[in-house]
Chain A
Amino acid sequence: GAGVSQTPSNKVTEKGKYVELRCDPISGHTALYWYRQSLGQGPEFLIYFQGTGAADDSGLPNDRFFAVRPEGSVSTLKIQRTERGDSAVYLCASSFGGPIEAFFGQGTRLTVV
């Protein structure tokens, strides 16, 4: 596609539920990043994929968060037992490799009620 696509654009879920957020990177981009952005803050790094493997998952806050990229393209961020503190905009970015010229998607606004 023309840009990084994230779905859904908005997600409201109840505390304790499981959610999946999807990212479609720019075609041909091998690097994919997930970030979380709270109101008035900069993007907070969660995980970085190079191809199918997680090159760096040091930003995942706890074991409720997990991400996959099985075919090296689409990625899914999975959050178990959601908490109100998980409410934020989840951003995905992709690039041809590493952080150089990483392009962001529009984000998924997650609200846990």
Chain B
Amino acid sequence: GENVEQHPSTLSVQEGDSAVIKCTYSDSASNYFPWYKQELGKRPQLIIDIRSNVGEKKDQRIAVTLNKTAKHFSLHITETQPEDSAVYFCAASTVGSQGNLIFGKGTKLSVKP
């Protein structure tokens, strides 16, 4: 089955700096890669996703890149703000097959003002 590894487990940056979180997956059939943000005590919220037919997707300060050959994908947050502080989870899935989302273990991002 699919296995998703996520690094780093914790990340601390200064406000205004960029943050990068990286994930690798094992199943070459995976074709859908969402990222979720979870604030303390709250539900995971979808912030961006990418499908395997594109290499990059941007939404304001957030971008995700995908390298299918290397089986890794990354989340990039630019101009970080204190409200970006949260735990971020990557996930992988095979749309059209079993459909279950397999999550990484998460990255705790702290943005210091």
Residues of A within 8 A of B (CB): 4, 31, 33, 35, 40-45, 48, 50, 55-56, 58-59, 91, 93, 98-107
Contact = CB atoms under 8 A, between A and B. Distances in A.
Contacts, number: 72
Contacts of A103: 46
B69 to A, nearest CB: 22
Interface string B10-42: 000000000000000000000010101000001
B72 to A, nearest CB: 17
B96 interface: yes
Contacts of B105: 40-42
Contact of A98 (B6, B96, B102): B96
Given A41-B105, A99-B93, A101-B49, A48 B43 contact: no
Contacts of B93: 98-99
Given A98-B93, A106-B42, A31 B106 contact: no
A58 B106 CA distance: 22
Given A99-B95, A100-B32, A59 B46 contact: no
B45 interface: yes
A63 to B, nearest CB: 19
